[in-house]
């Protein structure tokens, strides 16, 4: 088939017709005429093809070619095209800088040796061999610059049917890179329509190879896990991680609180929580956050959010009466930590307080109107006395629901 969707057409621009000729004038196109002159084939690869076939505009476009890295370097250098970042060259990837954009173009490859994390490759001109080494059928397709689809493993059919399958044997693909277990979950959450629509043989292969995730770096796991937590079917997929004995190898607690997780995943529906907010519902104690950090090397901000939620999720709740938001506002005003407002918003999502969250997002944190300078002008000189007076005034200001102005507060101080 030939793809002629609006999203595909939107990638084209007349501005490159002079560079690429009338046949190919794509906005992301890395000068296809250079490849044509040398009889090298050039196609869009992987995720961009999947997105285009799904009716989406891809964020990134990767290209595959029959040209080797050496041949591409010679070709681009002769044409005066700037090359950057040669780190990917040994894996077959050349990055060219054109029209203020970077383009990754990778030579077709065959995996020669794999260790579950990395692969030694050799180059090929066989498009099917390259597709064979990719993880999932929906990620194994190529798209010609004329819109022609090249699909060796029924990826388009799976995409239309919202099925997630490994290319070839699931166990073989997983053993080439154990991170593909989490990539399977991630794309399931992105594409599959219903939870539980897995092939039994795929789940069996995942269970048998789960231990391989122990050898994958925490940073790589966290990148995938965050995307899973932001996708669909989160509750189903995380429960599956426990059922298939994956959880222990990716930093999750063995005794994860799945009841709390069920409750919170219902609470946060449509509230766009941070991944850490969702994940924290599995944690019973602060040590669970610490252990996750040790395994996955999460950021300081993510760790602090997890610790904050574990500490305050039970005690810091809405007030009964006309001011349900008051405890959260008082907490923010009393806090000396950065990002407290953001943490409170995540706590409200965790608790499922959608209306309070909206009110909190519209609330502007008021500024305390009195300073030490104001007190010095009144005749105070002792730093200790000024500090104590400011604290007293803060308490009065708080009682007034943060409405008292400077004059009222200073007048209040005279009475005190």
pLDDT at 331 over 80: yes
Backbone angles phi, psi at 364, to 5 degrees: -100, 125
202, 172 Cβ separation under 8 angstroms? no
397, 365 Cβ separation under 8 angstroms? no
Provide the sign of the torsion angle of the four alpha carbons 162, 168, 169, 174, taken in this order: negative
User: Tokens for 106?
Assistant: 């990778």
Which domain-ending residue is among 136, 161, 186?
A: 161
Q: How does residue 192 score in pLDDT terms, banded at 50, 70 and 90? A: very high
pLDDT at 3: 80
Which domain-ending residue is among 123, 138, 161?
A: 161
Q: Is residue 144 part of a domain?
A: yes
pLDDT at 175 over 70: yes
Q: How does residue 7 score in pLDDT terms, banded at 50, 70 and 90? A: confident
Average pLDDT, the chain: 89
pLDDT at 18 over 50: no
Which domain-ending residue is among 130, 161, 192?
A: 161
Lowest mean pLDDT among 51-60, 80-89, 136-145: 80-89
Q: Is residue 31 part of a domain?
A: yes
Lowest mean pLDDT among 70-84, 155-169, 301-315: 70-84
Q: How does residue 242 score in pLDDT terms, banded at 50, 70 and 90? A: very high
Q: What tens digit of pLDDT does each residue of 38-55 get?
A: 889 999 999 999 999 998
Question: Sheet containing 93-98: which strands, arranged edge to edge?
Answer: 82-84, 93-98, 101-107, 62-65, 42-45, 142-144, 149-150
pLDDT at 143 over 70: yes
| Residues of the domain holding 91 | 1-161
Q: Is residue 90 part of a domain?
A: yes
Q: Is residue 188 part of a domain?
A: no
Q: Is residue 175 part of a domain?
A: no
Query: How far is Cα 185 from Cα 155, in angstroms, rounded to an integer?
Result: 17
Mean pLDDT over 198-203 rounds to: 97
Lowest mean pLDDT among 33-37, 288-292, 364-368: 33-37
CATH code of the domain covering residue 92: 3.30.460.10
Structurally, how many domains does the chain consist of?
A: 2
Q: Is residue 230 part of a domain?
A: no
pLDDT at 25: 39
If one compares 83 and 287, the residue with the highest pLDDT of the two is 287
Percent of the chain with pLDDT over 70: 92
Q: Three-state SS string across 147-158, please?
A: CEEECCCCHHHH
Q: How does residue 304 score in pLDDT terms, banded at 50, 70 and 90? A: very high
Q: Is residue 107 part of a domain?
A: yes
Q: Is residue 404 part of a domain?
A: yes
Mean pLDDT over 350-368 rounds to: 94
Query: How far is Cα 326 from Cα 388, in angstroms, rounded to an integer?
Result: 24
If one compares 354 and 84, the residue with the highest pLDDT of the two is 354
């Amino acid at each position: 088939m030939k793809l002629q969707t609006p999203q595909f057409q939107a990638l084209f621009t007349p501005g490159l017709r002079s560079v690429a000729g009338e046949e190919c004038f794509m906005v992301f196109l890395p000068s296809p005429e250079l490849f044509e002159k040398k009889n090298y084939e050039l196609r869009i690869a992987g995720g961009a093809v999947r997105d285009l076939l799904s009716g989406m505009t891809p964020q990134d476009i990767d290209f595959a070619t029959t040209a080797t890295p050496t041949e591409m370097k010679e070709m681009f250098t002769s044409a005066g095209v700037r090359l950057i970042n040669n780190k990917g060259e040994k894996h077959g990837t050349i990055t060219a800088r054109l029209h203020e954009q970077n383009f990754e173009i990778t030579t077709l490859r065959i995996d020669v040796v794999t260790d579950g994390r990395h692969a030694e490759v050799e180059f090929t001109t066989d498009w099917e061999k390259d597709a064979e080494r990719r993880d999932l059928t929906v990620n194994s397709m190529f798209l010609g610059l004329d819109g022609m689809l090249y699909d060796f493993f029924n990826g388009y059919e799976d995409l239309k049917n919202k099925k997630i399958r490994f290319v070839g044997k699931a166990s073989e693909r997983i053993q080439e890179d154990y991170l593909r277990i989490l990539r399977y979950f991630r794309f399931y959450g992105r594409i599959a329509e219903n939870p539980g629509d897995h092939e039994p043989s795929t789940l069996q292969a995942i269970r048998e190879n789960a231990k391989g995730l122990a050898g994958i770096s925490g940073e790589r796991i966290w990148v995938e896990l965050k995307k899973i937590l932001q996708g669909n079917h989160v509750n189903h997929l995380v429960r599956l991680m426990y059922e298939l004995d994956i959880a222990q190898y990716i930093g999750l607690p063995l005794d994860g609180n799945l009841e709390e997780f069920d409750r919170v995943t219902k609470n946060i529906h449509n509230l766009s929580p941070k991944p850490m907010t969702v994940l924290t519902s599995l944690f019973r104690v602060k040590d669970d956050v610490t252990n996750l950090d040790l395994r996955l090397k999460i950021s300081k901000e993510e760790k602090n959010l997890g610790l904050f939620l574990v500490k305050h999720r039970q005690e810091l709740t809405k007030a009964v009466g006309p001011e349900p938001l008051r405890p959260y506002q008082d907490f923010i005003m009393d806090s000396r930590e950065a990002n407290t407002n953001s943490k409170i918003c995540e706590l409200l999502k965790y608790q499922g307080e959608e209306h309070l969250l909206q009110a909190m997002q519209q609330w502007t944190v008021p500024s305390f109107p009195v300073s030490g300078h104001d007190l010095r002008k009144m005749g105070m000189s002792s730093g200790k006395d000024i500090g104590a007076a400011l604290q007293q005034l803060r308490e009065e200001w708080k009682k007034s629901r943060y409405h008292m102005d400077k004059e009222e507060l200073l007048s209040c101080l005279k009475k005190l």
